[in-house]
Structure 1
Amino acid sequence: MAKRPHLIIMRGLPGSKKTDLAWDIMEKKYCNSGEVLSTDDYFRDEYGRYYFVYSQRRIAHEWNQERAEEAMNNGVHPIIIDNTNITRWNMEPYVLMGLEYGYYIKFVTAPDHYRCTVDELHARVAHCGIEKGTMYEWKRNFERVKHLLCEA
């Protein structure tokens, strides 16, 4: 049986260090051979500065989904989706694409999502303009999923 390419879907509240973990996984397990795709990239300027615009979040998510599909179409291995992915609905486009393209799908929740309080996480990302109340709502709505999805 041929090895299937991997799609890793990162999960966790803002400030839970998903991005650090995503790059750590990419470097240590995959020797930087794939792509880390984040909707946040849409809001970065050419100098890497982050400017989140709430009204453009839907466009940003569609943009990231298009990048993921292009990477899957090109057989990129691995692809790491570095978004909050609070609900199954948030992950659904990536999961459906991954299944269509034959990817092995793994869900990884950043440990600080559970280890830290919302107040602690919010303090890490307060400069991004995310309201603490929004983060409490996301924490309340966080849906658990099986950590491995092996069947296509």
Structure 2
Amino acid sequence: MKQVFILRGLPGSGKSYYAQSLADEMVAGNESEYVICATDDYFYTSEGEYQFDKFKLPQYHNLNLARFINALAQGIPLVIVDNTNIKKWEFIAYTQAAHALAYQVKEVVVGEIKDKSLQHLYAKRCQHNVPLKMISKMAYMFEW
């Protein structure tokens, strides 16, 4: 069965950890059997340093969607979208492409969205230095 998991959650909530754990559990970490598509990947320099640029965000989201569709076209059994996906429209193209190519789609919310104490924790452990104020704003805007 071909499956797509669309992860949703605040920065620092553990989406990337969840994605890798899911791949390890479902396909025993066999790298030819899964692809994790994260827009964050495009913000890393060749030296491995993360450099967020809000002006490149639309371009990088498009590149991530293209990588996702390519994985589906190749018939990769497990494809995981590791983005915040705060609004439903942000992942509708992923869902439609997956359904068009006969993948089962599961939406997974990682972490708690509205819990203020956890938002503080997420801000502390977020590897991309997203400030608490932005995490709280994203929580407020989150669409169920």
* TM-score, normalised by the number of residues in structure 2: 0.88
- What residue in structure 2 maps to residue 29 of structure 1? 26
State the aligned residue count: 140
The structure 1 segments of at least 4 consecutive aligned residues displaced by more than 6 Å after TM superposition are none
- What residue in structure 1 maps to residue 136 of structure 2? 136
Change (3 A) 1:15 1:129: closer
- Map 1:1-152 onto structure 2 (within 5 A): 3=1, 5-32=2-29, 33-111=33-111, 113=113, 117-125=118-126, 128-144=128-144
Change (3 A) 1:113 1:26: farther
* TM-score, normalised by the number of residues in structure 1: 0.84
Change (3 A) 1:66 1:19: same
Deviation of 1:48 after TM superposition, in Å, equals 3.0
Query: What are structure 2's unaligned runs of at least 5 residues?
Result: none
Q: Which amino acid aligns with 1:71?
A: A
SS in 1 for 2:63: helix
CA distance in 2, matches of 1:113, 1:17: 12
CA distance in 2, matches of 1:135, 1:14: 7
- 34-43 or 110-119, larger mean C-alpha shift: 110-119
